[in-house]
Structure 1
Amino acid sequence: MVEPIDTTYFSVSKTEHQRRPKEPILIIEDKKENQVLLEGICKRVGISYEVAENGKIALEMAKYKSYSLYLVDLMMPVMDGKTFIAEQRKIDPRSVFMVQTAIDQTEEIIEIMKMGVYDYLIKPLHVEIVADRLEKALEYVYLKRMEAVLIDEESKELKSQLEWLNYKESHRKTNEVNSELNSILNLKTTLMQGSGLGAMTTIIDSIENMKTVENGNYIIPKDFWDLLSENQEHNKTMLKGLDMAVETIQSHIQLSKITSDELLQILPEIVKEFQKETESKEIKINLPVVKQSVKIEVNLDAMRTIIHEIFTNGLKYSKPKSNFDIFVTFVDGYFCLSAKNNLIEDDYAKQLTVSEKKLVEPFYRIHPPVESFHHKEKFSLGLGLTMVDFLLHKHNGMFFIRNAIDHTTETKASCVIAEIFLPIQS
């Protein structure tokens, strides 16, 4: 189990899935009328704040307290906004700034953005614009902090998983019999869960006890026959999924060098494919905003299958009215795409803490099938993550799925993080 995410960093408002840091923003403004205006806007949207009259006072305040965002006026006495930004960045390079200026000229805006600020506001300030920009800025701070936490956790997890893979490979030959036996037991359990073969067996047994004979023909209740037909469709889907798994294993995968940006263009397409399911469960999908691009070697069709399976697995077990977050990080020479979903708290979720490494084994399942996602599964019988792991090995990459404690909700919750690692090419 991974270490918990630091709870001091995050909070979630009760509406519209908004995520904000817990610390207040610092308004740095010398004019009283602008202070009053900005304070009123913060109160209106529920943002905690403090006020400093100039950059020097703000620097002193920042020594003793953390702020999520600095809203800085550029023209102030004692210490102006540009000087404050430069000095504060020396102390904490991760600080996020939004500036306000009365100069609406291209040259001035370019100079402002060169300082590394997140956004700028043009005076006179408009209430709706300021409120909207503040919301976006705080969401940005939240995501940047989550990204930093993920990078740290992924680096630790990568080392841990590499050790596990080395251990597993060194013991593979001595454990071949046990491995085959476990796969057979997993298959037996999976076949007896949910609709399909297990349900069909039960229905046929019931029909045997209820059937009657009339004029040499068996009479079977219509409800039982309808159930039998429905489960036959599930059986056909399972066989189709097995065929696809065999085809995937036997196929030759041709890799091409592309940019990570090209790979990420798949994400919005897949989000649309799951629109009905996400709307039904009221799940909000948050896609990454990535400013860095690297070279990777992939097969786009195979990667589309991989990402689709990760979405399928994450969304079908996600808690209703939660967030499904996608992050991109760069860890130890790898491009990493992570998907985080909050789990429904039940007995199955508890099993994940001791079984996470088994999820890529053939036919292994912790949760029973989710019927509403049946039509979305490309593979059957719990083979989806097995195929993800197989395809990523064909890309010289790795797949990890791990449980964690999510402190980004109002009450801490169990979550699962699925991670794709692809080597960065020169």
Structure 2
Amino acid sequence: MVEPIDFTTSSVTKTEHLRRPKEPILIIEDKKENQVLLEGICKRIGVSYEVAENGKIAIEMAKIKSYSLYLVDLMMPVMDGKTFIAEQRKIDPRAIFMVQTAIDNTDDIIEIMKMGVYDYLIKPLHVEIVADRLEKALEYVYLKRMESVLIDEESKELKSQLEWLNYKESHRKTNEVNSELNSILNLKTTLMQGSGLGAMTTIIDSIEKMKKEVDRNYLIPKDFWDLLSENQNHNRTMLRGLDLAVETIQKNIKLETITSDELLTLLPEIVLEFHSEMEEKEIKVNLPVVKQNVKLEVDLNSIKIILHEIFTNGLKYSKTKSNFDIFVTFVDGYFCLSAKNNLIEDDYAKQLIHSEKKLVEPFYRIHPPVESFHHKEKFSLGLGLTMVDFLLHKHNGMFFIRNAIDHTTETKASCVIAEVFLPIQTQKGK
């Protein structure tokens, strides 16, 4: 039974009206009685609204008009709430969602919050609770909009200053323009992706809404605490990776003469390290057969780190049921080891075409972290390829990573080729 609503009563003050976005709420609900209830609540608090009967209709409406907030029923025909949220977030990553659901258990609430929704309402809907939550949600949208406006204005001012500083700096250090700023921006993006700091922030925000105080102590659901612990482990790994990166940079390498055949004996050992990951993704590694043998000057510990990172980066972004190929060539006095993997073709892969050269920058990452490879990463935080590039320069070598099209199969496929160049040592007088 729908609770009767007093449409003449409004708890909204003039100040509260000023702290609201101008766009209407979009109510996405298939049941007529719930539509009437939510429409009445919107009228009561003095906010404009529109109604969509399912997610598909809502998507079309959102294409031609902006909405301040999406109030979404999870269970609907044609397109359910979860699908709508996922699709609309692709179109507008800054969209704010509230969901309504009849399911009230911790696991489902955690799954709802993982979708990145602002808040959730449990059915049957209570007028006062819904009105209060909507008020807070609209104020949140307003504050986020204000924050964006301020950031845009400050960014314009900052950009103006940076352009002048960059102009002056370019006359002094052409190849290192603005590198410090880029590193900071890359680190910010990396920390907020995947598990770790960004996820912990979201979980803690969720706990703030759900915690209960009993005898001056807070009660926190076990699932939330488990999520915190899991992400804390990721944070520890990140810190260990930073420590290792600093140690690697500060450590003096000791070059010794070995043959290229000796270097290649390291490859089967590394393949064994990734056995379970390759088995899970059904990836086949093809090692090179090399007849030529040359002398190289290398630090073996550094070479092991380089090869491990090449495998880590290649395997974690490889397509399922694909090949990971290692080739060896000899080019202009260099021993060249190349690793080729077929790339998962998604929106991130498209960015690689324009961002190849940035992959060795500190903390830069195109793809979000791959959680299944997290325990294999020595550095994490997007530092792996940075360390490869650094260590190869210590060897007077070079590192390149580039996007390519694989023409060796019946169907052309996008792939990535990582190339390690080490100078071949020649005997004096010859």
| Equivalence for 1:229 | 229
Question: What is the Cα-based RMSD across aligned positions, in Å?
Answer: 1.2
Matches of residues 410-425 of structure 1 in structure 2 within 5 Å?
410-425=410-425
The offset of 1:171, in angstroms, is 7.9
Partner deviation per Cα, 1:277-297 (whole Å, 9 max, x = no partner):
101101000000000000110
| Equivalence for 1:331 | 331
TM-score by length of 2: 0.59
| Equivalence for 1:179 | 179
Q: Which amino acid aligns with 1:416?
A: V
Q: Specify the SS of the correspondent of 1:293.
A: coil
Larger RCO (alpha carbons 8 Å, 6+ apart) = 1
Change (3 A) 1:343 1:171: farther
| Equivalence for 1:352 | 352
The offset of 1:380, in angstroms, is 1.6
> Counterparts of 2:266 and 2:281 in 1: how far apart (Å)?
23
> Counterparts of 1:367 and 1:177 in 2: how far apart (Å)?
25
The offset of 1:173, in angstroms, is 1.5
The offset of 1:172, in angstroms, is 8.1
Q: Which amino acid aligns with 1:415?
A: C
| Equivalence for 1:275 | 275
> Counterparts of 1:177 and 1:326 in 2: how far apart (Å)?
35
Partner deviation per Cα, 1:376-413 (whole Å, 9 max, x = no partner):
00002000000000000010100000110001222101
| Equivalence for 1:262 | 262
Residue 288 (structure 1) aligned with residue 288 (structure 2)? yes
The offset of 1:176, in angstroms, is 4.2
The total of aligned residue pairs comes to: 257
Partner deviation per Cα, 1:79-138 (whole Å, 9 max, x = no partner):
xxxxxxxxxxxxxxxxxxxxxxxxxxxxxxxxxxxxxxxxxxxxxxxxxxxxxxxxxxxx
Q: Specify the SS of the correspondent of 1:244.
A: helix
Residue 406 (structure 1) aligned with residue 406 (structure 2)? yes
The offset of 1:243, in angstroms, is 0.2
The offset of 1:207, in angstroms, is 0.6
The offset of 1:342, in angstroms, is 0.3
Q: Which moved more, 1:409-418 or 1:357-366?
A: 409-418
> Counterparts of 1:332 and 1:176 in 2: how far apart (Å)?
28
Residue 320 (structure 1) aligned with residue 320 (structure 2)? yes
> Counterparts of 1:343 and 1:263 in 2: how far apart (Å)?
27
> Counterparts of 1:229 and 1:321 in 2: how far apart (Å)?
33
Matches of residues 58-77 of structure 1 in structure 2 within 5 Å?
none
Q: Which amino acid aligns with 1:180?
A: E
Structure 2 gap segments, 5+ residues each? 1-169
Q: Segments of 4+ in structure 1 off by > 6 A?
A: none
> Counterparts of 1:392 and 1:309 in 2: how far apart (Å)?
12
Q: Which amino acid aligns with 1:395?
A: H
Q: Percent identity?
A: 85
Matches of residues 15-414 of structure 1 in structure 2 within 5 Å?
173-174=173-174, 176=176, 178-414=178-414
Partner deviation per Cα, 1:122-179 (whole Å, 9 max, x = no partner):
xxxxxxxxxxxxxxxxxxxxxxxxxxxxxxxxxxxxxxxxxxxxxxxx9882464611
| Equivalence for 2:11 | none
Partner deviation per Cα, 1:185-240 (whole Å, 9 max, x = no partner):
00000000000000000001111111110001001111111100000000000000
Partner deviation per Cα, 1:283-334 (whole Å, 9 max, x = no partner):
0000000000001100111101100000000000000111000000000000
Structure 1 gap segments, 5+ residues each? 1-169
Q: Which amino acid aligns with 1:282?
A: E
Partner deviation per Cα, 1:245-304 (whole Å, 9 max, x = no partner):
000000000000110000000000000101101011010000000000001100111101
TM-score by length of 1: 0.59
